[in-house]
Amino acid sequence: MFKGTAKKRDVKQKLKKKGTPKWKNVVAECELLEKRIPKETPPHGVAYYRFRPKEEVKEAEQGAKVIDSCDKTLIKIRFNDLPISKCTINGLFKAKFTKMTEVQRTSLPHSVGGRDMICCARTGSGKTLCYLIPVVEILYRKRWSMLDGLGALILVPTRELGM
């Protein structure tokens, strides 16, 4: 009888993927993200992370790197500064996405907050992450699974973008 339970335990440990979070942690993280998103979403029509006058830069942004230029202050933010899950941040880090492009800095805070976005930028500027990160985050926060059916439908103009 003891050997049977040991085998079951070994099978369960093998089935569990390495690095998958425990459900208690996922629920706590989702609740924290739901609280952070309304606070950190910028007002409508504001390119929040692009430029701000020097007077508006406060001590709350100590983690961001600040570069002085003329009469405005350029604030460099990272993906870690956005209200997104640790799983997404780890995936971006493993895919070697460390710095945000200008399109991502200006649109991601709005789109993660649930707003609709239209982005026009040159090829290779990072527009794809601008719509993928919010979709993945919404599915993660809703705890979507394969049993729930279709989670998102993304239409792209070419096969290469679909891949």
pLDDT one-digit tens code per residue, 7-64 = 555 555 554 555 555 667 888 888 888 888 888 887 777 765 544 444 455 544 555 5
Range of 41's domain?
A: 17-51+78-162
Asked if residue 6 is part of any domain, the answer here is: no
Asked if residue 154 is part of any domain, the answer here is: yes
Q: Is the pTM of this model over 0.95?
A: no
Asked if residue 34 is part of any domain, the answer here is: yes
**Is residue 70 pLDDT above 60, yes or no?**
no
CA distances from 95 to 41, 52, 98, 138 (A): 26, 30, 9, 20
pLDDT one-digit tens code per residue, 78-106 = 888 888 999 999 999 999 998 888 888 88
Number of domains comprising the chain: 1
Mean pLDDT of 138-151: 88
**Is residue 67 pLDDT above 50, yes or no?**
no
Q: What is the DSSP letter of 17?
A: P
The answer to whether the beta carbons of residues 137 and 112 sit under 8 Å apart is yes
Instruction: Identify the pLDDT of residue 68.
Output: 46
**Is residue 163 pLDDT above 80, yes or no?**
no
Asked if residue 157 is part of any domain, the answer here is: yes
Asked if residue 98 is part of any domain, the answer here is: yes
Report which of 11, 34, 22, 144 is spatially closest to residue 84, judged by C-alpha positions.
34
Asked if residue 62 is part of any domain, the answer here is: no
